[in-house]
Amino acid sequence: MDSIEKGQKMHSERIMIVDDEKSLRWSLTERLKREGYDVKGAEDGKSAMNLLKDESFDLIMLDQCLPDMDGMDILRHTKEEYPDLLVIIITAYGSVDSAVDFMKVGAYDYFKKPVNFDKLVITINNALETTKLRREIKELKEKLQHEYGETRMVGKSRCMQDVFDTVAKIAKTGASTILITGESGTGKSLLARMIHENSDRASGPFMQIICSSVPETLLESELMGYEKGAFTDAKNSKKGLLELADGGTLFLDEVGDMPLTLQAKILYFLEERSFKRVGGLKDINVDVRVIAATNQELKPAIQEKRFREDLYYRLNIINLNLAPLRERKEEIPILADMLIEEFNKKFRKDVKSISRSALNVLMQYNWPGNIRELRNCIERAMLLGNKKEIVIEDLPLDLRDDKCLLRKQRMCALPPEGIDFYALEKDLVKQALDLCSSNRTHAARLLGMTRDQICYRIEKYDLEDGYKEYAPGNKEYKKELEEEPLAMAKTI
């Protein structure tokens, strides 16, 4: 590497030049070393094969005609043994026919002798850059597969069933824009992946970006890419996520934090299906489904002029809202079972279940961090506990404190002068309904009674109107929740 010019970028890629012509081998090696590549030469087919066995390369420049072997045989061998290795053919004869044969077998490109070094360097740079991007996409896919792949999306509550019904309808249609809303940890990212994986784009890329975690100045070039010279560091042009997601899905997470200038560009893209790279003049057309997600209310952001109203309406054509876990507590037992199964595999444990009392604690807790918090809680319990069953002691203290508090409140509720039993019973029924977002089955479980028994008391104390049970399209229920979110939180 001693011949790298000052300020020259180092490449991590390795190139092999296979040519029996010593002077060509030497001059090409020197030129590519100057470009910052790690280069090795081989004078015949046999030494090339040996080098390939011992070391790894990203690209080989292969003479079509070698003293001991036919270039085509080497090409076939590399395609079988090293499918990711790029091969560029150097041909002395300039026969287009044979070059085309090489391309058919998988050569990336071919060059006639005398080789135009400048052109060759550009081709090599581009070939390696494309391969690097492909590899990054593959790694990203594997990483996401690792993070979410094992996870089934659980949702037996009515509100989740509604979400799944809509997903089933839209996944295979051309619906190009979807907005997922919900508090942090409710499953927005998991749902975005699920939509992609159930769509006819599943074999295409799934690219994602968290708008709040990328500095404003970088976000545009990350999304749209840039042309060479667009800014000081833009030594080469670069594709953005929109281009990389072509044929697949782009997931814009925390879209509420996207800067206004970029919002205008995304809106333009959603309407025209084309965009320009930073510093570019050309319109680039891509076929991308955009899924946006946010855990903040966009309406106030619109009023405060932080979010464009027109973009909101464009994104909101299909809105999937994921309810907080406290509003679908009936999912806790099934989620807990699924998580136990998952962590049994991960930690090689053999936990069979969760005790009734521990499950009760989970059912009473408010879950501000939603399913993510539940997941962490089960993970911790499985790591700390050493029984076949998760017991109360394995749960974090703050969850248990909530339970103790409730028990103490109940124990202390009997003052010496006696109590109004019916007022207390009514209050307990109301508390339980508050905790369970009016879900009768849950509230009954909390009070240790059957659904019929609680329904009887709801009627007896005339609580029907104040505690409507959720049913799709029950607008009054939603209105109550919107008006009184704090009141609900306070009772817990």
Ligand X SMILES: Nc1ncnc2c1ncn2[C@@H]1O[C@H](COP(=O)(O)OP(=O)(O)OP(=O)(O)O)[C@@H](O)[C@H]1O
Question: What residue ranges bind Mg ion (CB under 5 A)?
Answer: 188-189
Q: Compare residues 188 and 326 and give the one whose CB is closer to Mg ion.
A: 188
Q: Compare residues 112 and 372 and give the one whose CB is closer to Mg ion.
A: 372
Smallest separation (angstroms) from ligand X to the CB of 375: 5
Smallest separation (angstroms) from ligand X to the CB of 316: 17
How many other C-beta atoms lie within 10 A of the C-beta of residue 457?
A: 22
Smallest separation (angstroms) from ligand X to the CB of 377: 11
Smallest separation (angstroms) from ligand X to the CB of 199: 17
Q: Compare residues 71 and 256 and give the one whose CB is closer to ligand X.
A: 256
- Residue 256: contacted member of ligand X, Mg ion, none (CB under 5 to 8 Å, by partner type): none
Q: Compare residues 198 and 212 and give the one whose CB is closer to Mg ion.
A: 212
- 3-state secondary structure string across the chain: CCCCCCCCCCCCCEEEEECCCHHHHHHHHHHHHHCCCEEEEECCHHHHHHHHHHCCCCEEEEECECCCCEHHHHHHHHHHHCCCCEEEEEECCCCHHHHHHHHHHCCCEEEECCCCHHHHHHHHHHHHHHHHHHHHHHHHHHHHHHHHCCCCCCCCCHHHHHHHHHHHHHHCCCCCEEEEEECCCCCHHHHHHHHHHCCCCCCCCEEEEEHHHCCHHHHHHHHHEECCCCCCCCCCCEECHHHHCCCCEEEEECHHHCCHHHHHHHHHHHHHCEECCECCCCCEECCCEEEEEECCCHHHHHHCCCCCHHHHHHHCCCEEEECCHHHCHHHHHHHHHHHHHHHHHHHCCCCCEECHHHHHHHHHCCCCCHHHHHHHHHHHHHHHCCCCEECHHHCCHHHHHHHHHHHHHHHCCCCCCCCCHHHHHHHHHHHHHHHCCCCHHHHHHHCCCCHHHHHHHHHHCCCCCCCCCCCCCCHHHHHHHHHCHHHHHHHC
Smallest separation (angstroms) from ligand X to the CB of 197: 13
* Cβ atoms of residues 87 and 113 within 8 Å: no
Smallest separation (angstroms) from ligand X to the CB of 62: 46
Q: Compare residues 88 and 322 and give the one whose CB is closer to Mg ion.
A: 322
- Residue 265: contacted member of Mg ion, ligand X, none (CB under 5 to 8 Å, by partner type): none
Smallest separation (angstroms) from Mg ion to the CB of 257: 13
Q: Compare residues 75 and 194 and give the one whose CB is closer to ligand X.
A: 194
Residue number closest to ligand X, CB atom: 187
- Residue 45: contacted member of ligand X, Mg ion, none (CB under 5 to 8 Å, by partner type): none
CA distance 328 to 481: 13
- Residue 155: contacted member of Mg ion, ligand X, none (CB under 5 to 8 Å, by partner type): ligand X
Smallest separation (angstroms) from ligand X to the CB of 148: 6
Residues lying near ligand X in the complex (CB under 6 A)? 148, 151, 153-155, 182, 184-190, 295, 335, 371-372, 375
- Residue 186: contacted member of Mg ion, ligand X, none (CB under 5 to 8 Å, by partner type): ligand X
Smallest separation (angstroms) from ligand X to the CB of 426: 34
Q: Compare residues 128 and 190 and give the one whose CB is closer to ligand X.
A: 190
Q: Compare residues 66 and 223 and give the one whose CB is closer to Mg ion.
A: 223
Q: Compare residues 72 and 144 and give the one whose CB is closer to ligand X.
A: 144
